[in-house]
Structure 1
Amino acid sequence: MSQKREMTVRNQRFSILKQPIASVLNQHLIDYPTPRNLSYWWGFGSLAGICLVIQIVTGIFLAMHYTPHIDLDFNSVEHIMRDVEGGWLLRYMHANGASMFFIVVYLHVFRGLYYASYSSPREFVRCIGVVIFLLMILTAFIGYVLPWGQMSFWGATVITSLASAIPIVGDTIVTCLWGGFSVDNATLNRFFSLHYLLPFILVGASVLHLAALHQYGSNNPLGVHAEMDKIAFYPYFYVKDLVGIPDKAGGVAAIALVSICLLALPFMKSLYVRSSSFRPIYQGLFWLLLADRCLLGWIGCQPVEPPFVTIGQISPLLFFLFFAILPLLGLVGRGIPHSYTDDPVAEKDPISVRH
């Protein structure tokens, strides 16, 4: 009798998994074939998704008590902190969750850089990821303005004024962003509407990012592709997933150039091997890039005086130098194995990565 009941429960489970939505979730979240040699570095994408959900949930509750008006919004934030039950916790979760979101995404991006996960055939995955990152920056900046303190007001004034560096249409764009001729109530209402809308656009972009990834499968530390060396995502990987530029125009150009560099990575066809495991020169330059990135963050906290100004001007050049010489590094490397268990050193002839 108990055996028959167990069979009935199992059949019900399988029938549920055959339904349209459930079958898609089962295909991408449970039975998704995953390389068995993935490390914990591959868990930051899932953590980023969790952070996004937390930000949306806490943001919805905060929006219930927030008033987007320049005369009332600061007091509404104080009301959330002092009078709303658990409001202080929601606000701190939302504010610190945004910082945690960026930390996780930075680790996710640098893992992709280190293991060359942007290589063919995953170019589209990288391009969508860059769009997600830019949307995150925009959403975080708009959220920073909403409390409407002194830092928020002047931050909105300075950052939106960067658009005036665009030739011909720059001033018109700034006026449209402000809703007038200065940062005022119209600006705040625009920012609140966009801050509420953009996270849901991020969800859609994240779904596209995941779908593009699952079309060809995840990369792995060795950068090889072998169908027989894959296992189901559930339950094996659920545990692992539980700048100083002196002028405004130059700063805007540098920001745009960073995005262009990240978007161009998948199309550098000279990459001989995907994973940095077989590229020691690339490994060293990668850690120098990471050190330079930390230096840029530190310089941003220093006073605008010598020698910090000079260091702040040299550091971005070193950052872009990495991307300039990256196509040449692809010509140096060893062959890669067909399987996760093969020894690449034992191979006599180089093996093409296009298989």
Structure 2
Amino acid sequence: YLHIGRGLYYGSYLYKETWNIGVILLLLVMMTAFVGYVLPWGQMSFWGATVITNLLSAVPYVGNTLVQWIWGGFSVDNATLTRFFAFHFLFPFVIAGATMLHLLFLHQTGSNNPLGLNSDVDKISFHPYFSYKDLLGFAIVLIGLTSLALFSPNLLGDPDNFTPANPLVTPPHIKPEWYFLFAYAILRSIP
């Protein structure tokens, strides 16, 4: 979100190809997060899948068919879980391709200089100066995520999602994860 906010502030949206691929990347990452959220098959993930996939039924003419295709039947069930697992596996490859396209367009247009000054005067080569800094940052993030996944994998999980999925019992307070709160606010503002 910070990257998009920076792009809005500095006018990066004027480079339409780069901006549009970036928006597509955001949507792909959100879809990957959503289908991954469903995989534990807990109470919150089951009802999250039910509510969000039912939103697609609002698409004119093909909405109900689209929802049934995603579900693999007439309700969220084991076929849905299998499909979401496949999507969760395939989306990162699509994201990698879209990222390469995004970087290709960024390389063609150039990134915005926030100062608006000519920066050709004191350029330094990318490698080795920035390569080593990027490698250090990547190593720190990788160590942090690996430590989180190995030593406390349930730290960021919703407690209600540890209850097995039951289509007969709706949780009293369904709320999305933090990365979907902006979309949830938009959805709640529509009557």
Q: CA deviation at 1:226?
A: 5.2
Aligned in 2, Cα 1:237/1:218: closer, same or farther, shift over 3 Å? farther
Q: Which runs of 5+ in 1 are unaligned?
A: 1-105, 243-293, 302-311, 317-355
**Greater relative CO, 1 or 2 (CA 8 Å, sep 6+):** 2
For 1:135 and 1:118, how far apart are their aligned partners in 2? 19
What root-mean-square deviation, in Å, do the aligned CA atoms of Structure 1 and Structure 2 show?
2.7
How big is each residue's C-alpha offset from its partner over 1:302-352, in whole Å with a ceiling of 9 and x where there is no partner? xxxxxxxxxx74xx9xxxxxxxxxxxxxxxxxxxxxxxxxxxxxxxxxxxx
Aligned in 2, Cα 1:218/1:235: closer, same or farther, shift over 3 Å? farther
Alignment partner of 2:64 out of 163, 166, 171: 171
Corresponding position of 1:196: 89
Q: CA deviation at 1:229?
A: 4.7
For 1:201 and 1:185, how far apart are their aligned partners in 2? 24
C-alpha contact 1:115 1:223 (8 A) present in aligned 2: no
For 1:159 and 1:179, how far apart are their aligned partners in 2? 15
For 1:116 and 1:216, how far apart are their aligned partners in 2? 13
For 1:175 and 1:146, how far apart are their aligned partners in 2? 18
Q: CA deviation at 1:134?
A: 0.5
For 2:66 and 2:122, how far apart are their aligned partners in 1? 52
> Where do residues 178-189 of structure 1 align in structure 2 (5 Å cutoff)?
178-189=71-82
Corresponding position of 1:107: 2
Secondary structure of 1:180's counterpart equals coil
**TM-score with structure 1 setting the length:** 0.37
The code of the aligned residue for 2:2 comes to L
Aligned in 2, Cα 1:135/1:219: closer, same or farther, shift over 3 Å? same
Secondary structure of 1:231's counterpart equals coil
The code of the aligned residue for 2:45 comes to S
Secondary structure of 2:124's counterpart equals strand
Q: CA deviation at 1:221?
A: 1.2
Q: CA deviation at 1:240?
A: 5.8
How big is each residue's C-alpha offset from its partner over 1:104-149, in whole Å with a ceiling of 9 and x where there is no partner? xx11111111111232xx3211111011000011110000000001
The code of the aligned residue for 1:156 comes to A
For 2:133 and 2:3, how far apart are their aligned partners in 1? 14
The code of the aligned residue for 2:125 comes to A
Aligned in 2, Cα 1:219/1:231: closer, same or farther, shift over 3 Å? farther
Aligned in 2, Cα 1:237/1:125: closer, same or farther, shift over 3 Å? same
The code of the aligned residue for 1:128 comes to I
Secondary structure of 2:76's counterpart equals coil
Q: CA deviation at 1:225?
A: 5.4
Aligned in 2, Cα 1:134/1:176: closer, same or farther, shift over 3 Å? same
For 1:158 and 1:143, how far apart are their aligned partners in 2? 15
Secondary structure of 1:118's counterpart equals helix
Larger-Rg structure: 1
Q: Which runs of 5+ in 2 are unaligned?
A: 138-177
Aligned in 2, Cα 1:188/1:163: closer, same or farther, shift over 3 Å? same
The code of the aligned residue for 1:107 comes to L
